[in-house]
Amino acid sequence: MQDPERLLPLTPLSFYILLAVARRQLHGYAILHEVEEASGGAVRPGTGTLYAAIHRLQADGLLEEAEPPEGRVTDARRHYYRITELGSQVAGAEAKRLRNAVGLATSRRLLSAEAPGSSRRGRR
Amino acid sequence: MSWLLRRLYRWKLRAYPRAFRARYGDEMETVFEENWRDLVHAGGGTRLGRARRAVLLTVKEILEVPGSVRRARRTAREEVRQKRPFGGGAAPGSGPRGGHGGVAVDAWLADLRHAVRLLVRSPRYALAVVLTLGAGFGANTTVFSLVDGLLLAPLPYPEAGRIVRLEETRPNMWSTLSPGQLTLSSFTRWRAATRMLGQMAIYAGRSVTLTGVDEPVRLAGAMVSPALFPLLGAEPLYGRTFSEAEEREGSGDVVILSEGTWKRLFAGDTNVLGTTAILDEQPHVVIGVMPSSFDFPRPDVDFWVPFTLAAPTTGGPARSTFDLWIEAVARLGPGVSIEQAEAEANALMREAYGTGDARERTVHLVPLGSRAAERVRPALLMLAGAVGFVLVIACANVAGLALARSAARSRDTAIRAALGAGRRRIVRPILLESTLLALMAAPVGLLLAAWSLRWLRAFGAELTPHLNRVSLDLRVLAVTAAVSLGVGLLSGLAPAAGSARLDIERCLRGGGPSLGRWRASSGAALRRPLAVVAVALAIVLLAGAGLLMNSFVRLVRLDYGYDPDHLLTLQLHLPDSTYREDAERLRLLDGLVEAARRLPEVIEASAASALPSFDATTHVSVTVDGSPRDTGDPVELRIVDPAYFPTVGLRRLAGRLPDPGMPADGDPVVVLNESAARLLVGREDPVGARVSFLRYRRAEVIGLVADTARAGTGTDAEPEAYVLYSQMPSSMARSLLRTPRLILRTVGNPLALTGNLRDLVARADPNIAVSGLLSLRSRLDSTIAAPRMYALIVTAFAGFATLLATLGVYAIVAHAVVRRTHELGVRRALGAGRRSLLTTVLAEGLRLAAVGLLVGLPGAWVLSGFLRGLLYGVKPGDPATFGAVGLLCAAVMLAASWLPARRALRVDPVEALRAE
């Protein structure tokens, strides 16, 4: 089994994808939706970017294809994905890393405790 | 819409590695479609909001391509490496090479990012360029689709290049009346003897009355040889096509329906096969249904019946004086060229009919479709030229904008150069930026083209019957993509070259490039010729549009020689079983005309064999008594009743017109029009001359009437002879009396009477079919639909071109005012008058306009020669049109210079000097 730490840090997109499929298997469009929603609209990948990331996650063994949920009639072009064991570990490790970063930011008064916000995508 | 999107998306997918595409392509497409649907269609909000979301999504999907492709590639490479960890030297060996390539690619990507950033920072510039180029592409793609569909694309038949039309010419005038046709006698001989041709088929238009349905319906179809279907490779939708035996006379009446007729009149019921349809009172067995894709010989053909031939006569030269001119097609035999087949046929003709005298027959083989293409070719080539100019102007404008932008950015560029960016790194973002803009404009253009093609298909049916063959296809897409890349590079070249030569030191020292000496700056030096080119080309387009409009207006206001307004027309189709004798037909016709005359709002009513301005299709040979020539001249015969002349309003020039009281058995009389009088008698007043029709029917010329102009094309009037129904020899009257036309002159809108008229006919006899119930004016209008379409399209192009050229001039003058603020301020301070300042600035723009006019007007004069065939009543170099175009252009350019000039007057000298 690979060392989860080795794959850190995850890109925000990969992280949000793993978060999206953490609970149940989802198809591509649902992932796109969840990523947008979970990130509050900050991460809005195009289809190419989304699938390049899915490709990457599959290659690294963090994501795998899954059967459609039971009782769901679906067309053949639609594929479902779910998180792997390794994926859960890596996502957990990434979350831990982010929590440390948040803690640091709070202690340096960059962040008031009640309003967590995304600090990504700063403009130069 | 959706197919276009899908196609564009697949095009995008091609950028990705093959394995990636195979694995995720379908899925990505689904996700994209769902996303598009939810965001753009189901998203709600205003139309503008939806359009904005559509544009944003499109831009996002385009901009993400390089980054995501790079990532997909990297993952794919690593996957391969992981799969064979002991794969020898391959994996480590690829390192340095890949790394080297990576640096180059990264530099490209960095430049691309730089270009994107620059664009995002100036959205107005990006929008202006994308819209300008998009409109140019749209117009080009539309016209290219037309050219491709109508001129370049092969006909929709297997090996269509081997199908030829058979045409015949004879050294007599009858042959000129049937251009591109063949006589039946030549056809039968040819077919019996040929070794060079495969299947041969003839066809002719045929319309019939279908009865046994709700009310009698007129159907327009064709009589065709059984061989036509295999010749064209056509298969029926249901049933079968004609067998060879069905060509013989009396071999049983059969009919094949078009899919449209079958659905419209037979409810699309397959049980119709084998049943009987009553066509012109003859039972015909329905044996097949052809799919709607088969539209030979016309797109709106309703049915096909066999072209029956009398039993073949053998031996001896054919001497029949009466021969039928028909259309004929054939398929070349294997390995046979057109020349070989033609030589064989002409040898056959010489053998059968001899040479030297008036009986000589020459035949030609012409590729099928070339005749139809010939008719639209000049117009399409003109449109292609015009649209090319539009694209050039759009490019010139975009290049001008890019130059202005790079001049404004020169300080930025100089800093990058000073920091060590090589020439390549300076030039590349500029080229990338313009390429990017051109690529973004391509979808805009495709959308525009899709819309305008839909519009053309809806309104341009009269333009050409084969518009349904025109569509946006992959080739058009490829051409647009190539053009957009080329345009991107071209429009970027000028500013790129300027930036590469930039004088770094001066740029950094001064506030901008050469303040006060703006004319020397790289941008301005090139922008002026670009603007001049745009103005000159816009003038060419304006002149073309002016000529076409002028010609179109002349067609609309054409003096037809009578009053074509307030005339209602219709055609009657009398069934033979009820009306056997001419007398019965005449009685019915007289009764109908009399009843029509009593309708409210009707001023006068009459019957005639043909409508004024439209072809009567009946030509007879007429000789004048005492003429030294023994051959007659072909004159168009129009059979009318005496009321025809007052109904139509035909002008009498000499003699008298027949009056209603004229006895049927009296001396036959004829009225000639001017052309016929000139042709037959050779003098102005033919009254009193005696003529004979077809050598046996003699008549006295009692009157002379004005020529009537022919509908549509503006061709010259034909020689016409008017003869009374009551005095026609029965052999000729019979065929013309079966399908007479009624013409009514009304007080108000003629179409208000259509219901009354239908009732009137139905009350007289419910078995009479009525067709063509239209006002004469609307018939005439439909014949000038094509010139109107051309005039409108070219005017739209010219308007767009003029707008672009004006904007170009405006931008240059406005730019000059900004650049010269300091100078203008100084001059103002030194006491220069408003007039002098105004003149200085105006001169800036007017010089451009003057040079543009000097180049453009002669250019337009030369190029207008190509319009000759499309103009009616206007000469290509029409001075009035050219004068108007010159004045219009000067006025527009003056306005374009005036706005910035007024700003120059408001320059405050104190402010201007303080800024220094």
Q: Do B24 and A54 touch (CB under 8 A)?
A: yes
Q: Which of A29-33, A38-42, B147-151, B843-847 has the lowest mean pLDDT?
A: B147-151
Confidence of residue B172 (pLDDT cuts 50, 70, 90): low
Q: What is the pLDDT of residue B318?
A: 44
Q: What is the pLDDT of residue B645?
A: 92
Q: Which of B381-385, B386-390, B475-479, B787-791 has the lowest mean pLDDT?
A: B475-479
Residue in B closest to A50 by C-alpha: B68
Q: What is the pLDDT of residue B178?
A: 67
Q: What is the pLDDT of residue B502?
A: 62
Q: What is the pLDDT of residue B570?
A: 92
Strand order in the sheet with A63-66: A26-27, A80-83, A63-66
Task: Respond yes or no on whether the N-terminal peptide bond of residue B297 is cis (omega within 30° of 0).
Answer: yes
- Give A-chain residues touching B26 at CB under 8 angstroms: 77
- Give A-chain residues touching B43 at CB under 8 angstroms: none
Confidence of residue B331 (pLDDT cuts 50, 70, 90): very high
User: Which residues does residue B165 pair with via DSSP β-bridges, in sequence order?
Assistant: B329, B366
Nearest to A59 among B28, B67, B78 (CB): B78
- Give A-chain residues touching B65 at CB under 8 angstroms: 48
- Give A-chain residues touching B8 at CB under 8 angstroms: none
Nearest to A55 among B20, B26, B35 (CB): B20
- Under 8 Å CB-to-CB from B759, ≥6 apart: which residues? none
Give pLDDT tens digits for B606-616: 999 889 988 77
- Under 8 Å CB-to-CB from B355, ≥6 apart: which residues? none
Q: What is the pLDDT of residue B744?
A: 94
Give pLDDT tens digits for B734-754: 677 788 899 999 998 998 888
- Give A-chain residues touching B72 at CB under 8 angstroms: 48, 51-52, 55
Residue B687 has pLDDT above 80, yes or no: yes
Q: Which residue has the higher pLDDT, B424 or B88?
A: B424
Residue B320 has pLDDT above 70, yes or no: no
Q: Give which of B743, B676, B744, B682 is closest to B707, Cα–Cα.
A: B676
- Give B-chain residues touching A51 at CB under 8 angstroms: 20, 24, 27-28, 68, 72
Q: Give which of B159, B146, B141, B142 is closest to B198, Cα–Cα.
A: B159
Closest Cα in chain A, distance from residue B77 (Å): 11
Q: What is the pLDDT of residue B305?
A: 92
**What number is the average pLDDT over the span B346-363?**
75
Q: Which residue has 């769902």 as its token pair?
A: B34
Q: Which residue has the higher pLDDT, B819 or B547?
A: B547
Q: Do B134 and B445 form a contact (C-beta atoms < 8 A)?
A: yes
Residue B509 has pLDDT above 70, yes or no: no
Q: What is the pLDDT of residue B547?
A: 92
Confidence of residue B911 (pLDDT cuts 50, 70, 90): confident
CA dihedral B731, B737, B738, B743 (to 10 degrees): 160
What is the distance between the alpha carbons of residues B33 and B27, in angstroms, rounded to a whole number?
Answer: 10
Q: Do B327 and B182 form a contact (C-beta atoms < 8 A)?
A: yes
Give pLDDT tens digits for B421-472: 777 777 777 788 888 888 888 888 888 888 888 888 777 665 565 666 677 7
Give pLDDT tens digits for B487-507: 777 777 767 766 666 666 666
Q: What is the pLDDT of residue B499?
A: 67
Phi, psi values for residue B196, rounded to 5°: -90, -25
Q: Which residue has the higher pLDDT, B683 or B402?
A: B402
Query: How is residue B368 annotated by DSSP?
Result: T
Residue B304 has pLDDT above 90, yes or no: yes
Residue A112 has pLDDT above 50, yes or no: yes
How many interchain CB pairs under 8 A, A with B? Answer: 73
Closest Cα in chain B, distance from residue A112 (Å): 33
Q: Do B68 and A59 touch (CB under 8 A)?
A: no
Token representation of residue B401: 């904008």
Q: Which of B338-352, B494-508, B812-826 has the lowest mean pLDDT?
A: B494-508
- Give A-chain residues touching B6 at CB under 8 angstroms: none
A54 interfaces chain B, CB cutoff of 8 Å: yes
What is the distance between the alpha carbons of residues B232 and B157, in angstroms, rounded to a whole number?
Answer: 6
Q: Do A48 and B23 touch (CB under 8 A)?
A: no
Q: Do B286 and B276 form a contact (C-beta atoms < 8 A)?
A: yes
Q: Which amino acid is at B135?
A: A
Confidence of residue B303 (pLDDT cuts 50, 70, 90): very high
The full DSSP string for B646-677 is HHHTPPEEEE----TT--TTS--EEEEEHHHH
Q: Give which of B769, B772, B305 is closest to B578, Cα–Cα.
A: B769
Give pLDDT tens digits for B616-655: 777 788 888 877 666 677 888 898 988 999 999 998 898 8
**What number is the average pLDDT over the span B822-845?**
82
Give pLDDT tens digits for A68-81: 877 666 677 788 89
Give pLDDT tens digits for B216-242: 888 999 999 999 999 999 899 999 999
Q: What is the pLDDT of residue B595?
A: 93
ipTM of the complex: 0.83
Token representation of residue A84: 């792997």
User: Which residues does residue B633 pair with via DSSP β-bridges, in sequence order?
Assistant: B622
Q: What is the pLDDT of residue B592?
A: 92
Q: Give which of B169, B188, B157 is closest to B308, Cα–Cα.
A: B188
Q: Do A77 and B26 touch (CB under 8 A)?
A: yes
B163-169 and B325-332: which strand pairing?
antiparallel
Q: Do A46 and B60 touch (CB under 8 A)?
A: yes
Residue B513 has pLDDT above 70, yes or no: no
Residue in A closest to B71 by C-alpha: A52
What is the distance between the alpha carbons of residues B510 and B564, in angstroms, rounded to a whole number?
Answer: 74
Q: Which of residues 56-75 of A touch B (CB under 8 A)?
A: 56, 59, 75
Residue B269 has pLDDT above 90, yes or no: no
